[in-house]
Amino acid sequence: MSGVIYEKVALIGLGLIASSITHAAKRTGLVGEFTGYARSQETRDTARELDLCTVYDTAAEAVEGADLVILCVPVGAMGSVMKDIAPHLKSGATLSDVGSVKRAVIEAVEPYVPEDVHFVPAHPLAGTEHSGPRSGFAELFDNRWNIVVPASDYTDRDAVERLKTFWKGLGALVDEMDADHHDLVLAVTSHTPHLIAYTMVGVADDLARVTDTEVVNYSAAGFRDFTRIAASDPTMWRDVFLTNKDATLEILGRFTEELFALQRAIRTGDGDHLHDYFTRTRSIRRGIIEAGQDTDAPNFGRGPANT
């Protein structure tokens, strides 16, 4: 796909996702001009050094005249950022975001959205454990899903379709979803698994009978993958759990029930239960591979360079 979709795109927050957007868009010329802002002077200086976009020292300057404004800040900061930029948004512009939670973002941002601005939240299901402007790369969104979540039933459909086209041009697969359903789906597929990973790494850290050297040297692929997930940005994940509280707690409750059942099976020697359970969960893995969201190669679908 080629051709300009938005003449001017403003990125508020210049970390992994924002920098990857600029790299991906430049492959096919989807954007005429990128502008950007980050709260940290160091981040702004790095973005200028990398020539990611025209970097401004205030968010208000960055969004002036932008056809698309994307909030790429932690979920907990979106409300205050939106309050600052609202008076400076161009009439007819589209406002979006990349937050991992959608209902809380809509509730925080929508009160400040001018009537002549189209608010179309979105969530690219892509990322790494790295953060900052240097971590972005053009292929981050390739064949990864982006879920577009219109803020209301009255959201301008032309604005929604245009944003979908933009993300498809960045290489993403695009779906549309209700905010509450999005938050439940992500609690299952991302938020709770991250919390479990943080917990498992924390447990290993607490076991005095297992030395740090043994944890590092003898980490099998499963634990090593937990550590990769647990290395993710702590501010972002703090905000995710605080803002998607209900859905995460619901899934954690279900997880606890399943864990107790497995404990009971191990304690009582119920091999049939364990075998049946593992057979069912194995089929989910096959479904992920068949959907093209991973490969059946060993090492969790990643090559040696990425382990």
Q: Number of folded domains in the chain?
A: 2
Are residue 211 and residue 149 in the same domain, yes or no? no
Of 119-133, 154-168, 256-270, 290-304, the range with the lowest mean pLDDT is: 290-304
| 253: containing domain | 181-294
Averaged pLDDT, 122-135:
88
pTM above 0.85, yes or no: no
Residue 205 has pLDDT above 80, yes or no: no
Alpha helices per DSSP H over the chain: 16-28, 41-50, 59-63, 78-85, 103-109, 157-169, 179-186, 192-206, 212-217, 221-230, 234-243, 245-268, 271-290
Residue 307 has pLDDT above 50, yes or no: no
Among residues 141, 135, 104, which one has the least CA distance to residue 121?
104
Q: Looking at 156, 177, 198, which one is the last position of a domain?
A: 177
Are residue 251 and residue 102 in the same domain, yes or no? no
Which of 290 and 142 is assigned the larger pLDDT? 142
Mean pLDDT, the chain, whole residue set: 88
**pLDDT value at residue 300:** 46
Confidence of residue 304 (pLDDT cuts 50, 70, 90): very low
Are residue 234 and residue 254 in the same domain, yes or no? yes
Q: Which CATH number do you get for residue 289?
A: 1.10.3660.10
Confidence of residue 110 (pLDDT cuts 50, 70, 90): very high
Residue 73 has pLDDT above 80, yes or no: yes
Residue 188 has pLDDT above 80, yes or no: yes
